[in-house]
Amino acid sequence: MFRRIRYLFRKELVQTLRDKRMRITLIVPPLFQLIVFGYAANLDVRHIRAAVRDLDQSAESRDLIGRFGSSKYFNIVAYPQTPEDVRDLINQRKVTLSIEIPSDFSRKLKKGDTARVQLLVDGTDSNTTLIALGYAGQILSEYSTKILVKRLNRAGVIGFEEAGVDVEHRTWFNPNFESRLFYVPAVIALIAFLVPIILTAQAVVREREIGTLEQIMVTPIRSWELVVGKTLPFALLGLLDMIGIALIGIFWFEVPFRGNPAILLLGSVLFLMGSVAIGLFISTISSTQQQAQISTFFFTMPAVNLSGFAFPIESMPEWIQYLTYANPLRYFLVIIRGVFLKGNGLDILWPEMTALAILGGFMLLLSSLRFQKRLT
Amino acid sequence: MRLSRCWAIARKEFFHIFRDPRSLALVILMPALLMLLFGYAVTLDVRRVSMVVLDRDHTQESLSFIQRFSASPYFNLRFVAQDEKKVKQLIDEGSVKMGLIIPWNFSKTVTSGKKVAVQVLLDGTDSNTANIVLSYVQAIGRQYTQEQTFTKVERMGLQRANLPVEGRTRVWFNEELESKNYFIPGLVAVIMSIIGVLLTGQVIVREWERGTMELLISTPVRKGELIIGKLFPYFFLSLLDLTLALLMAKWLFDVPLRGSITLLFLLSSLYILVALALGMIISTVAKTQLLANQMAMIIGFLPTFLLSGFTFSISNMPDWLQVMTYAIAPRYYVTILKEIFLKGAGFSFLWFETLTLVGFMVAGFWVATRSFKKELR
């Protein structure tokens, strides 16, 4: 019995690895995703290009502009003269933010009135804009405080202090807000999701397409042995691929690995059950490799986007949040990020582990049953 | 060049698509699914951030400060902790993204006219969200400080309290700062790539694989006619999808479409031709349908999804990667889409992108016709 599985196991590995395009599937897309998410998916906003239109040209206005210019968040790149110039600069994406200082700026400051500074901002990229506005607000408020203290000084109050709060923040697990620490573990999870699905679905359908599946059926192999032989090799390949990418992530992208590798391995094994189950299921609804590929695309596209991979689950509409509970990737992302970044142990991750075990086992059972039915 | 021959090929290609339910689904359902996903289901907007608060002061002042968080749409006050251990535990297990710790001397310090340090603990795992949460917290902190300082000044009875400088912000193009307005226009490019590259990648290689290419070679149909005939149905379907996507964007998701629809269709047609040319190249180079599919995924779909500026802003990427994005056509199309949708840009703002796309198209078709050999191999 184990001999039969072993033979099938070896055959699948050889067949997959000798095929150049399969080797490409194992290496190129994972690397591509790793590079893009390691480098590109960044919201660390620095050097926002800004324009300044100073209608006042006073010492005060220059002081304020200097504060923007010397901050690491803004680069002042243009000094437009007219509102049309400002509009063109924003329209042509030359600047994201335009600061306009009205002609009565210094006069109002001296009189003790409120001087209004106009900020025009390109909101196309909503989150970058939000962060840029936060920085601008900070600078304005610091400047405002400085003026207030000056006014009070003149009124004879020495050593005035602000009342209120200082926000002292400590950011755990990722103190410099580096997005690659968030995405690299997720890409590893993605590999463990996609690779077994694609390989399992292709392997079964290919045999069906060239007719060798029927030949296998006349051999003494039992159908459950066939299921094992058709899934185990691809789970293993997925695991190996995942380990390779994880090593690149740890050593090249310097993503910290704070937890226990054994716990991650346990989570991965549980998760891979679900992945091969999906692959097996897709193979039962496809008769050509072409169809299998399209079905895989249809299945994985929503699954990846509704997993918390890039888009937070808690911001989704409520009924979709419930839907994500049926998505194994959702749990595995919590596990892999928890182990990598937080060093979480089983005491914290047991609910996700349990969910993966139940979900994976259930999916594997259903697709094997369907697979066997489809064989006969 | 005979139109009748082109048409015959085109008709055959239409039949291929319509009789295969899965290809048809890729044409009709996939765009709708993508639009629903990105227009409705997922968002990068940071709202209702789950938080825990530890109030060591328990006074009117500390409560009113906490109130600012619980009343804000950006925060969701889920837990009240009694000690710091609980705060840590909640963050550790991922139940909350943020913890706010108010020290025991909060009200004493504030009412005596000084600044008190409140501690904010953030789960930085999701760095982008954490970054935005922090800027919300700081805004609340600033607002509070400003008000307290004013009360203090007024209490001193010194002068009419005026805020010295106030920023007035006007956001253009995406006034509500919603990420869907940023996603949806770019998504159109992704949808065009699915048909243009993924489906078109099959057209020639399929004939080779099934052996029907040899039949085609023996007919009087010429190379140019074959290419035009093969691509016409996909061009047509792409336009169909474009219309579908625009209708959904406008009526279902209320994404502003400020520019000219004619210009949008014209420039989209240009991009469709670029995508089709790429699909054609893949189809003539690949030896099997499977390989064609894989190539389409790697050089057609993934770059469009990840490097075009569709979800991840190009200006935040490292320089070397920014340079690379200039080499991919979707980058220009995504710019065109966002400009026309959100800014209502006219051609005068888009001529550079247009010219580049024309360049891509000419080069693409040149390579496609060169690599396509209508002879036995």
Look at A116 and B317 and tell me if their CB atoms are within 8 Å.
no
Chain B residues touching A305 at Cβ < 8 A: 37-38, 41-42
* pLDDT tens, position by position, B126-159: 888 888 899 899 999 988 988 888 888 888 776 5
- Note whether A265 and A330 are same-domain residues: yes
Residues in chain B: 377
| Domain-embedded: residue A159 | no
Residue A128 touches partner B, C-beta closer than 8 Å: yes
Q: Which residues contact A261 (CB under 8 A, 6 or more apart)?
A: none
* pLDDT tens, position by position, A11-61: 888 888 887 777 877 888 888 888 888 887 666 677 888 999 999 999 989
**Region B37-66: what's the mean pLDDT?**
89
| Domain-embedded: residue A303 | yes
- Note whether A26 and A85 are same-domain residues: no
Look at A123 and B349 and tell me if their CB atoms are within 8 Å.
no
**Region A128-139: what's the mean pLDDT?**
88
* pLDDT tens, position by position, A230-256: 889 999 999 999 999 999 999 999 999
* pLDDT tens, position by position, A274-321: 999 999 999 999 888 878 888 898 899 999 999 988 888 888 888 999
B36, closest residue in chain A (CA to CA): A302
- DSSP letter for each residue of A232-294: HHHHHHHHHHHHHHHHHHHHTS-----S-HHHHHHHHHHHHHHHHHHHHHHHHT-SSHHHHHH
Q: Which is it for strands B75-80 and B49-55: parallel, antiparallel or unpaired?
A: parallel
- Give residue B374's pLDDT band: very low, low, confident or very high (50, 70, 90): low
| Domain-embedded: residue A172 | no
- Of residues A347 and B204, more confidence is placed in A347
- Note whether A207 and A294 are same-domain residues: yes
- Note whether A37 and A58 are same-domain residues: no
| Domain-embedded: residue A219 | yes
Nearest to B313 among A125, A314, A315 (CB): A125
Structure-derived torsion over alpha carbons of residues B88, B89, B94, B96, reported in degrees to the nearest 10: -60
pTM, whole model, 2 decimals?
Answer: 0.86
Domain B49-155 has CATH 1.20.1530.20: no
Instruction: Tell me what the pLDDT averaged over chain B comes to.
Output: 87
Chain B residues touching A126 at Cβ < 8 A: 44-45, 174, 177-179, 181-182
| Domain-embedded: residue A239 | yes
- Give residue B212's pLDDT band: very low, low, confident or very high (50, 70, 90): confident
| Domain-embedded: residue A176 | no
Residue A3 touches partner B, C-beta closer than 8 Å: no
| Domain-embedded: residue A331 | yes
The pLDDT value recorded for residue A171 is: 82
Q: How far is B115 from chain A (nearest CA, A)?
A: 5
Q: What are phi and psi of B80, to 5 degrees?
A: -115, 120
- Note whether A139 and A252 are same-domain residues: no
Q: How far is A110 from chain B (nearest CA, A)?
A: 9
Domain ranges across chain B:
3-42+178-371, 49-155
A113, A122, A311, A334, best to mutate vs chain B, most B CBs in 10 Å: A311
A92, A101, A125, A184, best to mutate vs chain B, most B CBs in 10 Å: A125
Inter-residue contact A132 to A122 (CB < 8 Å)? no
Q: What are phi and psi of B272, to 5 degrees?
A: -60, -40
Residue A346 touches partner B, C-beta closer than 8 Å: no
| B363: helix, strand or coil | helix
Structural domain for A66, as ranges: 48-154
| B315 has a pLDDT exceeding 80 | no
Percentage of residues in chain B with pLDDT exceeding 90?
33
Residue A28 touches partner B, C-beta closer than 8 Å: yes
The pLDDT value recorded for residue A282 is: 93
**Region A165-170: what's the mean pLDDT?**
82
- Note whether A348 and A201 are same-domain residues: yes
Instruction: Look up the CATH number of the domain holding residue A99.
Output: 3.40.1710.10
| A153 has a pLDDT exceeding 90 | no
In the DSSP assignment, the letter for residue A104 is: T
Chain B residues touching A128 at Cβ < 8 A: 313, 315-316
- Note whether A225 and A349 are same-domain residues: yes
The pLDDT value recorded for residue B196 is: 83
Residue among B178, B170, B198 at smallest CA distance from B341: B178
* pLDDT tens, position by position, B273-287: 999 999 999 888 887
The pLDDT value recorded for residue A165 is: 81
> Complex ipTM, two decimals?
0.84
- Note whether A131 and A228 are same-domain residues: no
- Note whether A310 and A193 are same-domain residues: yes
Q: Give the whole-angstrom CA distance, residue A35 versus residue B268.
A: 29
- Note whether A57 and A204 are same-domain residues: no
- Note whether A147 and A203 are same-domain residues: no
Least confident of A100-109, A222-231, B60-69: A222-231
Number of independent structural domains in chain A: 2
Residue A321 touches partner B, C-beta closer than 8 Å: no
* pLDDT tens, position by position, B78-107: 999 999 999 988 988 888 999 999 999 999
- Note whether A200 and A348 are same-domain residues: yes
